[in-house]
Structure 1
Amino acid sequence: MAAEPEGKPIWADAMFSDVEGAKSFYAEVLGWTFGESSSEYGNYTQAYANGKAVAAVVPPMPGQEGQSQWCLYLASPDAAATAGKIRENGGTVLMEPMQVGEFGTMCLAQDPGGATFGVWQGGTHKGFEVTGEPGAYSWAEVFTRESEKADAFFPAVFGYDVKTMEDEQIDFKVFELGEEPVLGRMKMRTEDFPPEVPSYVQVYFAVPDCDAAVAAAQKLGGKPVFGPMTSPFGRFAALVDPQGAAFAVIDTATTEGEMPKLT
């Protein structure tokens, strides 16, 4: 398996104080199964969709207890060099590059607007074993109030080309590698997001039926934030799980309307 290009979303994980609760929730909503927890690596537990690794859950490390959140990792051929570029372009390195056995090297960072993301330099762990299929990663967007900073930061660090979506209702850009869209950037409007909601990265997981996934999430204590609604990209909804982690689900087979233009 060839290494993914720098800046491409490559993995996602989340810390949960109640890991067993998280496993039960996502098993029901996304159909995940789980491997054995790795005590050597803080009880890191991989999630699988149809036998393919798609994400992981882990208890918080001492001192990192707090609201759960999903973290998207972007590929890097050299995590230390990427950390340097993050600093040079106004970002913050939250956790210095750390080798995780033979699996790879990880780093945690924030963009200048405060959105947290990870960097992953793959070793034996190459990242997602499948994407776009039910239960697997599908897409991600940086939600930020400081859109100009994000638009400068991410292309400077990861070499993205930037396209603007022609839509009068939203301020949305698409970051591309080559001609492949790999990440979205949504400006958070105060009327939609209370001031206390910080910038974040929204991770979308594919589902065969958006409404059924939302109903399952609600039954288990999850809360819908937006949707379900149907778009040219699919029928999707944004949710918060019972431990406070935001995520989204999307059924890409159910679409409506024409694809917006990117300029």
Structure 2
Amino acid sequence: MLTTEFTVGRPVWVDVGSNDFAASAGFYRSVFGWEHEPLPPEAGGYGFFKKDGKTVAAMGPSMGAAPSWGLYFMTDDAEAAAAAVRDAGGTVREEPMRVFDMGSLAAFADPSGAGFSVWQPGTVKGLDALGDPGALCWTELSTANRDRDKDFYRSLFGWTYFDYPMPDGDGVYTAASTGGENDTHSGLFQPDGTGADVPGQPSGWTVYFATADCDATAEAISSGGGTLLMKPATMEGAGRIALAADPQGAVFAIMANEPTG
């Protein structure tokens, strides 16, 4: 469960890279009811997405990369996090940098190549809403080596883990926590169902946004020009989920805690 009671190692921010701000703003408005709020020009085009007056995500230029969603975990020391990433076998993609008085960020990749970032809060602690409809509710790592990545994130953030059998009986789903089993915030799974290294298997983080009705939101995604990569399906123990890409190709997921339809 995601909440705005931020502690080290928990998801605190998400943003999407875009090549067309107007088109992206229109798409996410039609899907989630978000309103785009640009920051001053010195922010380089970065801006916030608001829902009911609360910041629920952000958007910035894709800077020549393929548009994608980025995920940030809280740290209390971005410099120390960068050193810990190197020590644990990860890669520092962007060295720690200050963002005005808002805080500091750094971008990394884990040993399997999945990109993620950290945020050291200043005046901006994190998103204003988490878990509500239209807000971030879960994050998930698809990995080429689950056991190795469990060790990596444990060393970086102090995560503890809880393993559950997959509904189809093929492997396990791992939930990560900075508290106990009732306070999990992220999932890790290996598509082939093993914990051993799988050369060539892509790794990456997916962000999930909550919705009151997965099927209706999936329809809005299609109507808005997005692509359903996985149609709504009920997942035992989770709810009803779907996987999608926005019109520029940025991948995200939606989740209704209770099955609908």
For normalisation by structure 2, the TM-score amounts to 0.90
- Work out the number of aligned pairs and report it: 248
CA distances 1:239-260 after superposition (whole Å, capped 9, x unpaired):
111111110011113379xxxx
Q: Which amino acid aligns with 2:172?
A: D
Q: Which amino acid aligns with 2:120?
A: Q
CA distances 1:163-203 after superposition (whole Å, capped 9, x unpaired):
1112323432111111110211011339xxxx987311110
Match for residue 186 of structure 2?
Answer: 183
> Does the residue aligned with 2:206 lie in a helix, a strand or coil?
strand
CA shift for structure 1 position 14? 1.4
Q: 2:212 aligned to 208, 216, 225, which one?
A: 208
Residues 230 and 244 in structure 2, CA contact (< 8 A), matched pair in contact too? yes
Match for residue 152 of structure 2?
Answer: 153
Question: 1:25 & 1:133 partners in 2: Cα distance?
Answer: 19
- Does residue 233 in structure 1 map to residue 234 in structure 2? no
CA distances 1:219-245 after superposition (whole Å, capped 9, x unpaired):
122111123011232211011111111
Q: Which amino acid aligns with 2:218?
A: V
CA shift for structure 1 position 136? 0.5
Residues 111 and 149 in structure 2, CA contact (< 8 A), matched pair in contact too? yes
Q: Which amino acid aligns with 1:153?
A: F
> Does the residue aligned with 2:161 lie in a helix, a strand or coil?
strand
Residues 215 and 260 in structure 2, CA contact (< 8 A), matched pair in contact too? no
- Does residue 42 in structure 1 map to residue 47 in structure 2? no
Match for residue 5 of structure 1?
Answer: 7
Question: 1:244 & 1:198 partners in 2: Cα distance?
Answer: 17
> Does the residue aligned with 1:119 lie in a helix, a strand or coil?
strand
CA shift for structure 1 position 148? 2.1
Match for residue 261 of structure 1?
Answer: none
Match for residue 69 of structure 1?
Answer: 68
> Does the residue aligned with 2:38 lie in a helix, a strand or coil?
coil
Question: 1:106 & 1:66 partners in 2: Cα distance?
Answer: 19
> Does the residue aligned with 2:15 lie in a helix, a strand or coil?
strand
Quick one: structure 1 residues 189 and 222, their matched pair in 2 at CA, closer, same or farther if it must change by over 3 Å?
farther
Residues 146 and 187 in structure 1, CA contact (< 8 A), matched pair in contact too? yes
> Does the residue aligned with 2:152 lie in a helix, a strand or coil?
helix
Q: Which amino acid aligns with 2:33?
A: G
CA shift for structure 1 position 3? 6.9
> Does the residue aligned with 1:214 lie in a helix, a strand or coil?
helix
Quick one: structure 1 residues 219 and 227, their matched pair in 2 at CA, closer, same or farther if it must change by over 3 Å?
same
Q: Which amino acid aligns with 1:85?
A: A
Following TM superposition, the consecutive aligned residue runs of length 4 or more in structure 1 with deviations greater than 6 angstroms are none
Q: Which amino acid aligns with 1:132?
A: G
Question: 2:201 & 2:58 partners in 1: Cα distance?
Answer: 24
Question: 1:102 & 1:86 partners in 2: Cα distance?
Answer: 25
1:1-263 pair list within 5 angstroms: 4-61=6-63, 65-167=64-166, 168-179=169-180, 180-189=183-192, 198-231=202-235, 232-254=237-259
Question: 2:185 & 2:83 partners in 1: Cα distance?
Answer: 22
Match for residue 196 of structure 2?
Answer: none
Residues 245 and 251 in structure 2, CA contact (< 8 A), matched pair in contact too? yes
Residues 3 and 126 in structure 1, CA contact (< 8 A), matched pair in contact too? no
CA shift for structure 1 position 41? 1.3
CA distances 1:75-114 after superposition (whole Å, capped 9, x unpaired):
0000110111111000001000000000000011100001
Q: Which amino acid aligns with 1:11?
A: W
Alignment RMSD: 1.9
Q: Which amino acid aligns with 2:50?
A: Y
CA shift for structure 1 position 137? 0.6
CA distances 1:54-84 after superposition (whole Å, capped 9, x unpaired):
11011133xxx12111111000000110111
For normalisation by structure 1, the TM-score amounts to 0.89
- Structure 2 unaligned spans of 5+: 194-198
CA shift for structure 1 position 217? 0.9
Residues 221 and 242 in structure 1, CA contact (< 8 A), matched pair in contact too? yes
